[in-house]
Amino acid sequence: MSSTSQKHRNFVAEPMGEKPVTDLAGVGEVLGKRLETAGFDKAYVVLGQFLVLKKDKELFQEWMKETCSANSKQSSDCYECLKDWCDEFL
């Protein structure tokens, strides 16, 4: 397994609350703006989509590609971040 980024570790370390979508690993300013434009302005809204897709990596990565033009690294980082958060808090 690859090591996680500091952003990933920070996100997984505490409850999500009202964190902005850009706090998710793999989501920077550009993807964040695209997600916000699509209605996904908070991390918990992206978590909702993650759960609707039943935590399926392939479906989630495809959704990110279609929704905000994320590349495979960005969508994989975001998936792993949400997966680890769920393992910790759900």
Task: Read off the pLDDT of residues 16-35 as tens digits, 9 standing for 90 and up.
Answer: 999 999 999 999 999 999 99
Predicted confidence at residue 1, as pLDDT, reads 44
Domain that holds residue 77: 4-87
Q: What angle do helix axes 29-37 and 57-68 make, rounded to 10 degrees? A: 90
Which distant-in-sequence residues (6+ apart) come within 8 Å of 3 by Cβ? none
* pLDDT bracket for residue 3 (50, 70, 90): confident
- The answer on pLDDT for 2 being more than 80 is no
Residue 40 has pLDDT above 80, yes or no: yes
Number of domains in the chain: 1
**Which two structure tokens, joined as six digits, stand for 18?**
């009202």
Q: What is the CATH number of the domain that holds 32?
A: 1.10.150.40
Given a cut of 70, whether residue 61 has pLDDT beyond it is yes
